[in-house]
């Protein structure tokens, strides 16, 4: 028997048969329509709705012919078929009514069942704390702990020493199960034998809490598989006989380390120094990338200058050298060294001096180096050759030299006996 799909009730099926039928007043030969409907009925399949529509249209056409054509002729030609069609239509009416009623009843039952399931799902959703999420953030845990309407059990799997040094405050239901007693293959009852006695009561009532939160120092979602927390969750989820939890145990993502940093008022730390020591053990300092120094070692003077002796008669030369040095130390590191001073091979051979460079520098050698050094001009990129005549001895430009009256007031002049030049 074919599935009902044209209508959901007999009234709706009658409207379909009526509306989709042709207007007999506009047809030249309604009798041919009646004959074609009879032929289709004889070859009709087991589709109740289709058969009902054909019978309905045939009888309508038959009644129209009785009104508009020769009544005796139409009765003699189609009367017998019309009687059979009427009887068959009555049987189909009863069967279709029964089938439509069954379908309607089943639909109502399904709607009722769906409503019940939906209401149960809503209630289950309301009864869960974290919506059965496998991982929660420190913010999620803090919000739930701040809400007194939820009864949460936190299981801390850090070592006993670490737990004693720092843990959640006593108002929070938190127990410690040291990680070294948690292994695959243990049942929850067997694991309970290793729970410290002071936490045994909470452990025995673990299924009475709204949710169980598991945490260690810093396990995150991508480190979870194979960790102690993973083993403990398997024990509670799969090997806790005769226990039904309101919600699946969840994991505190990034652990107690992040929680105590974010919410220190929710925790108790017995010894700050011990806490810092534990954090040093936990945090891997080798993972930290320190920035490399950007200073380039090749931007140092090609020779070292020590102490300038006092009482020298060539004060002007020394002042010029100090001026050069002052500008040198302000030159940017990316300035090529050729713009600051002559290459090392063009400097006088100071190694032949009788005085070591690390000791007191010979004044004559020092002045010789100053005469050949270029006083740099900031922003000037010209080479040294443009300012020095290769055939003549370099002459220091003293056009900007201060007058003797100004020089006497210069702090550098007044401190000339104690001037020291240090290497870069």
Same domain, 113 and 139: no
Looking at per-residue confidence, does 321 or 267 come out higher?
A: 267
Same domain, 109 and 143: no
CATH number, domain containing residue 48 = 1.20.58.80
pTM of the model: 0.42
> Stretch 233-251: mean pLDDT, rounded?
90
Read off the tokens for 25.
């007043």
Q: Is residue 202 part of a domain?
A: yes
Whether the predicted pLDDT of 55 surpasses 60:
yes
Q: Is residue 182 part of a domain?
A: yes
Q: How would residue 185 be classed by pLDDT, with cut points 50, 70 and 90?
A: confident
- Of 51-55, 107-111, 372-376, the range with the lowest mean pLDDT is 372-376
What SS3 class is residue 252?
A: strand
Q: Is residue 396 part of a domain?
A: no
pLDDT at residue number 205: 92
Same domain, 109 and 180: no
- Of 46-60, 273-287, 331-345, the range with the lowest mean pLDDT is 331-345
% pLDDT > 70, the chain: 61
% pLDDT > 90, the chain: 23
Which of 118, 149, 183 is the endpoint of a domain? 118
pLDDT at residue number 423: 53
Same domain, 268 and 146: yes
Whether the predicted pLDDT of 193 surpasses 70:
yes
> Stretch 51-61: mean pLDDT, rounded?
89
Residue-wise pLDDT for 243-266, tens only, equals: 888 888 999 999 999 999 999 999
> Stretch 353-369: mean pLDDT, rounded?
56
**What mean pLDDT is reported for the chain?**
74
> Stretch 45-58: mean pLDDT, rounded?
86
Which domain does 57 fall in, by range? 10-118
Q: Is residue 394 part of a domain?
A: no
Same domain, 189 and 252: yes
> Stretch 301-313: mean pLDDT, rounded?
47
pLDDT at residue number 375: 52
Whether the predicted pLDDT of 132 surpasses 80:
yes
Same domain, 271 and 140: yes
Q: Is residue 349 part of a domain?
A: no
pLDDT at residue number 339: 45
Same domain, 147 and 81: no
Q: Is residue 381 part of a domain?
A: no
CATH number, domain containing residue 230 = 3.40.250.10
Whether the predicted pLDDT of 320 surpasses 90:
no
CA–CA dist 372, 393 (Å, integer): 9
Buried b (16+ CB within 10 A) or exposed e, 387-404: eeeeeeebebeeeeeeee
Whether the predicted pLDDT of 304 surpasses 50:
no
Q: Is residue 416 part of a domain?
A: no
pLDDT at residue number 230: 92
Query: CA-CA distances (angstroms) from residue 240 to 57, 183, 231, 236?
Result: 69, 14, 13, 5
- Of 10-24, 107-121, 375-389, highest mean pLDDT: 10-24
CA–CA dist 316, 314 (Å, integer): 5
Whether the predicted pLDDT of 348 surpasses 60:
no
pLDDT at residue number 142: 93
pLDDT at residue number 122: 55
Same domain, 203 and 147: yes
- Of 35-39, 227-231, 365-369, highest mean pLDDT: 227-231
Q: Is residue 350 part of a domain?
A: no
Same domain, 111 and 18: yes
pLDDT at residue number 328: 45
Whether the predicted pLDDT of 91 surpasses 80:
yes
> Stretch 14-25: mean pLDDT, rounded?
82
Same domain, 93 and 174: no
pLDDT at residue number 298: 44
> Stretch 85-103: mean pLDDT, rounded?
90
pLDDT at residue number 117: 76
DSSP conformation letters of 84-149: HHHHHHHHHHHHHHHHHHHHHHHHHHHHHHHHHHHHHHHHHHHH-SSTT-SEE-HHHHHHHHH-TT
Residue written as token pair 């940093």 = 261
Same domain, 99 and 147: no
CB of 338 within 8 A of CB of 384? yes
> Stretch 196-200: mean pLDDT, rounded?
92
Residue-wise pLDDT for 395-417, tens only, equals: 656 666 555 555 455 555 555 55
Number of domains in the chain: 2
pLDDT at residue number 113: 84
Residue 251, H or E segment? strand 250-252
pLDDT at residue number 319: 54
Which of 275, 305, 325 is the endpoint of a domain? 275
Which of 118, 149, 169 is the endpoint of a domain? 118
């Amino acid at each position: 028997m074919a599935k009902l799909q044209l209508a959901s009730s007999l009234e709706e099926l009658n409207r379909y048969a009526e509306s989709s039928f042709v207007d007999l007043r506009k047809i030249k030969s309604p009798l041919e329509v009646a004959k074609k409907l009879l032929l289709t009925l004889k070859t009709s399949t087991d589709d109740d709705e289709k058969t009902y529509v054909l019978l309905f249209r045939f009888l309508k056409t038959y009644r129209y012919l009785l009104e508009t054509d020769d009544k005796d002729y139409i009765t003699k030609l189609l009367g017998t078929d019309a009687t059979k069609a009427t009887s068959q239509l009555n049987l189909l009416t009863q069967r279709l009514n029964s089938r439509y009623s069954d379908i309607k009843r089943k639909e109502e039952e399904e709607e009722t069942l769906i409503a019940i399931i939906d209401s149960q799902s809503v209630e289950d959703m309301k009864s869960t704390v974290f919506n059965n999420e496998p991982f929660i953030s420190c913010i999620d845990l803090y919000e739930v702990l701040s809400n007194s309407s939820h009864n949460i059990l936190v299981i801390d799997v850090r070592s006993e020493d670490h737990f004693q040094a720092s843990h959640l405050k006593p108002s929070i239901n938190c127990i410690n199960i040291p990680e070294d007693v948690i292994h695959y293959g243990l049942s929850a009852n067997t694991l309970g034998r290793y729970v410290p006695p002071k936490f045994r009561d909470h452990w025995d009532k673990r299924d009475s809490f709204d949710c169980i939160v598991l945490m260690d120092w810093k396990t995150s979602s991508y480190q979870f598989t194979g960790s102690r927390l993973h083993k403990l969750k398997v024990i509670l989820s799969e090997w806790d006989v005769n226990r039904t939890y309101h919600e699946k145990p969840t994991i505190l993502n990034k652990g107690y380390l992040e929680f105590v940093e974010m919410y220190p008022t929710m925790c108790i730390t017995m010894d700050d120094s011990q806490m810092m020591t534990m954090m040093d053990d936990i945090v891997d300092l080798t993972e930290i990338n320190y920035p490399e120094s950007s200073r380039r070692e090749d931007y140092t003077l090609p020779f070292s200058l020590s102490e300038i002796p006092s009482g020298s008669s060539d004060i002007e030369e020394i002042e010029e050298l100090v001026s050069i040095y002052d500008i040198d130390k302000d030159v940017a590191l990316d300035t090529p060294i050729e713009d600051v001073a002559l290459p090392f091979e063009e400097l006088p051979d100071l190694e032949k001096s009788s005085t070591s460079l690390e000791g007191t520098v010979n004044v004559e050698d020092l002045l010789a180096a100053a005469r050949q050094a270029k006083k740099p001009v900031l922003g000037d990129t010209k080479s040294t050759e443009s300012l020095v005549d290769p055939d003549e001895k370099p002459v220091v430009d003293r056009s900007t030299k201060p007058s003797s009256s100004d020089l006497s007031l210069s702090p550098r002049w007044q401190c000339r006996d104690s001037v020291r030049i240090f290497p870069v």
